[in-house]
């Protein structure tokens, strides 16, 4: 009996200890579980409440015991969601729902409380506070949405490739740049957008990435769906999953327009360098030709009929004239030869060209003229514009060896501020468009981008300067040249030149023989041969002429005897003292002494500059006896 009693006591102690342990666990759970645990009876009155989240609701443990759910929620509605859920639990159904209360969000679980008989006597409730988790999830979704928006709306291409180069993701910019739809790209490998060389390069970069180069920046040309070549500036890096390479993520910027502008700049710099060389050569050549043409003029005019000297002078004169045209072409190529700046009637110029071409046109060539522009006056160098348009007309005839139609047309067009840069003219505004069209063999597409490059030619007997000179002359006049051509369908060269409104074109007066000149003329030129040729030409015209090769010395002579000379002919480009410095120095003490400035090349608008500085005239070297006579007449007012 004592043993049984001891065993019963032991068991009772163990049960009490287990109950105390259970109470401690329940208290621990209530303190640390982020929620509320409660019970309610069949009348929906609270019979217990505990849990850490009670404090978030402003309650203490057991504070609501004895209150009904209706009273706590402040409602009499039996269909109020928490009350309705409790009623369903009392009916024997477990309930789960989400509920926001007192600015906190809970996941609520309700279970029927059953007696040993199975009868439901109340409800056991658990509400887990998920406010922070929901907030974090919401922020994560918002962050993902921001990333997605950034991904989709980025101006640059954003892409992801697998390690074989297959597209895993692309944004809308990829569609715009490549011309392919997103779904098409997602079924493609990047090498399908590349030529063989670029494809090998990309494959090599992927292998280098797998070998440890986790970031790379490079330029990549791709071929768009419509055949365009698009240049991309790519920045890519390797993505890792659980420490292993898994994908390649990158950003690509379309730099095609930048590449085009860089190429234009390189071409401009190349042309500028060639132009500087051409200008220097032309200047020296013109100086030499001044002496040659001057003396051949004297020989031709002094030789008798059938005289061998006269015949030789004529041959030399023609060769020198040809050399002068070459020098003029070089200055046009340099875009620096527009020394004259007068109003030029393009209709009159074109009629001169057709009159010049007329005798040489074969019977199988039809010449059409459509001068649709009501006025076609521009400003510039009439000689250079004549040369450029004549060159285009001659090229058109050469393109029609079997015959065809040559058409010259003028139109007035307005170039807008949005399009003038693309066209290549100097500024927006009204322009005269001169179109020279042939029905000849046309131009191969691969040649079109190179037509105006110096020394580019498809002809066996050509220097390759013709179209380069045309381009230089037109650009120097603030205009542009555009070519439209297809093989077998002829070509049209469109020349755009700025329209000058309400301007009367100047007409050159041919020099006519007149009475012999009188008085002394001083020639100032650092090249003695050129200076002596000028002296001989002036003597031929009846003047007494002497020359000096030093500008400073000439100023000193003139300062001592300013009335000893009626006229001064000075070179614009001299070492030590330039012609313009000489002119300013002379005008300081002899403002009424007329000066003619002469040069083989002095840059655009040189004639206007020296006249503004006080010169009485301007001579472009090489000049003939008749041109010198006319310049002297005008300077002296004779």
61 φ, ψ (degrees, to nearest 5): -60, 130
Cβ partners under 8 Å of residue 433, min gap 6: 373, 410, 411, 412, 413, 494, 495, 496
With b for 16 or more beta-carbon neighbours within 10 A and e for fewer, the 444-456 pattern comes to eeeeeeebbbbee
What is the C-alpha separation between 567 and 588, in angstroms, rounded? 16
Count of Cβ atoms closer than 10 Å to residue 605 Cβ: 14
Position 381 pLDDT exceeds 60: yes
Say if CB 190 and CB 162 are below 8 A apart: no
- Residue of 293 and 466 predicted with greater confidence: 293
Query: Using 50, 70 and 90 to split pLDDT, how confident is the model at 600?
Result: confident
Domain 520-636 is of which CATH architecture?
Answer: 3-Layer(aba) Sandwich (3.40)
Query: Using 50, 70 and 90 to split pLDDT, how confident is the model at 137?
Result: confident
Q: Which fold has domain 25-130?
A: Beta-Lactamase (3.30.450)
Cβ partners under 8 Å of residue 342, min gap 6: 379, 380, 381, 382, 505, 506
> Which pair of structure tokens corresponds to residue 33?
């579980």
Cβ partners under 8 Å of residue 43, min gap 6: 68
Mean pLDDT lowest for which of 224-233, 359-368, 430-439? 359-368
Same fold across 25-130 and 342-498: no
Query: Using 50, 70 and 90 to split pLDDT, how confident is the model at 25?
Result: low
Portion of the chain with pLDDT greater than 90, in percent = 25
**pLDDT tens, position by position, 219-234:** 889 999 988 889 999 9
Domain 342-498 is of which CATH architecture?
Answer: 2-Layer Sandwich (3.30)
User: Which whole number is the average pLDDT over 203-216?
Assistant: 82
pTM over 0.85: no
- State residue 210's pLDDT score: 77
Position 468 pLDDT exceeds 70: yes
DSSP-assigned beta bridge partners for residue 582: none
Distances in whole angstroms, Cα of residue 238 to Cα of each of 151, 168, 310, 532: 18, 14, 85, 79
386 φ, ψ (degrees, to nearest 5): -60, -45
End-to-end CA distance of the chain: 163
**pLDDT tens, position by position, 298-325:** 787 777 666 777 777 777 777 777 677 6
**H/E segment holding residue 548:** strand 544-548
**Class assignment of domain 154-254?**
alpha beta
Cβ partners under 8 Å of residue 145, min gap 6: none
- Domain coordinates in residue numbering, the chain: 25-130, 154-254, 263-330, 342-498, 520-636
Sheet holding 244-254, edge to edge: 167-170, 157-161, 244-254, 229-241, 215-223
**pLDDT tens, position by position, 86-120:** 999 999 999 999 989 888 889 999 999 999 888 99
Q: CB burial class (10 A; 0-12, 13-18, 19+) of residue 589? A: exposed
Mean pLDDT score of the chain: 82
Token look-up 């927006």 returns: 428
- State residue 97's pLDDT score: 92
What is the C-alpha separation between 587 and 238, in angstroms, rounded? 76
Portion of the chain with pLDDT greater than 70, in percent = 83
């Amino acid at each position: 009996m004592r043993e049984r009693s001891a065993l019963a006591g032991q068991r009772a102690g163990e049960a009490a200890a287990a109950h105390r342990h259970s109470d401690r666990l329940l208290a621990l759970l209530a303190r640390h579980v982020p929620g509320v645990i409660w019970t309610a009876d069949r009348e929906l009155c609270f019979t217990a409440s505990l849990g850490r989240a009670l404090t978030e609701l402003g309650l203490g443990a057991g504070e609501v015991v004895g209150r009904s759910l209706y009273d706590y929620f402040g409602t009499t509605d039996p269909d109020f969601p928490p009350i309705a859920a409790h009623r369903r639990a009392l009916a024997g159904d477990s309930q789960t729902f989400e509920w926001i209360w007192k600015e906190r969000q809970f996941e609520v679980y309700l279970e029927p409380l059953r007696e040993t008989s199975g009868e439901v006597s109340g409800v056991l409730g658990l509400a887990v506070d998920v406010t922070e988790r929901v907030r974090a999830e919401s922020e994560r979704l918002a962050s993902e949405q921001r990333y997605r928006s950034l991904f989709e709306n980025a101006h640059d291409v954003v892409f992801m490739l697998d390690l074989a180069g297959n597209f895993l993701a692309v944004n809308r910019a990829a569609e715009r740049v490549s011309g392919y739809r997103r779904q098409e790209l997602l079924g493609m490998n990047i090498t399908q957008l590349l030529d063989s060389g670029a494809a090998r390069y990309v494959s090599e970069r992927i292998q280098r990435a797998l070998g440890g180069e986790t970031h790379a920046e490079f330029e990549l040309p791709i071929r768009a769906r419509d055949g365009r070549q698009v240049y991309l500036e790519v920045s890519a890096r390797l993505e890792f999953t659980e420490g292993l390479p898994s994908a390649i993520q990158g950003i690509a910027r379309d730099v095609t327009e930048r590449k085009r502008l860089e190429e234009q700049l390189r071409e401009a710099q190349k042309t500028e360098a060639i132009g500087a060389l051409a200008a220097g050569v032309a200047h020296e050549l013109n100086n030499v030709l001044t002496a040659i043409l001057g003396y051949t003029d004297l020989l031709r005019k002094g030789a008798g009929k059938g005289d061998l000297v006269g015949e030789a002078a004529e041959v030399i004169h023609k060769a020198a004239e040809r050399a002068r045209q070459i020098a003029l072409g070089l200055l046009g190529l340099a875009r620096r030869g527009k020394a004259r700046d007068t109003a030029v009637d393009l209709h009159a110029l074109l009629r001169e060209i057709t009159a010049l071409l007329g005798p040489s046109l074969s019977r199988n060539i039809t010449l059409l003229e459509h001068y649709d522009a009501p006025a076609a006056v521009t400003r510039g160098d009439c000689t250079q514009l004549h040369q450029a348009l004549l060159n285009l007309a001659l090229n058109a005839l050469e393109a029609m060896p079997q015959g065809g139609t040559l058409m010259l047309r003028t139109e007035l067009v307005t170039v807008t501020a949005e399009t003038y840069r693309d066209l290549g003219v100097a500024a927006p505004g009204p322009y005269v468009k001169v179109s020279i069209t042939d029905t000849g063999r046309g131009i191969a597409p691969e040649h079109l981008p190179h037509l105006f490059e110096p020394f580019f030619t498809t002809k066996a007997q050509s220097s390759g300067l013709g179209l380069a000179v045309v381009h230089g002359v037109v650009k120097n006049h603030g205009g542009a040249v555009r070519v439209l051509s297809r093989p077998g369908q002829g070509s049209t060269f469109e020349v755009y030149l700025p329209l000058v409104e309400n301007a009367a074109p100047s007409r050159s007066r041919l020099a006519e023989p007149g009475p012999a000149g009188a008085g002394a003329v001083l020639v100032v030129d650092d090249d003695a041969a050129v200076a002596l040729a000028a002296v001989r030409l002036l003597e031929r015209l009846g003047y007494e002429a002497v020359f000096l090769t030093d500008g400073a010395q000439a100023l000193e002579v003139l300062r001592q005897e300013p009335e000893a000379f009626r006229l001064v002919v000075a070179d614009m480009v001299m070492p030590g003292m330039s012609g313009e410095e000489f002119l300013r120095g002379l005008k300081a003490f002899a403002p009424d002494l007329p000066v003619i400035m002469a040069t083989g090349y002095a840059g655009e608008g040189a004639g206007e500059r020296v006249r503004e500085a006080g010169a009485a005239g301007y001579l472009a070297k090489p000049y003939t006896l008749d041109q010198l006579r006319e310049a002297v007449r005008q300077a002296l007012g004779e």
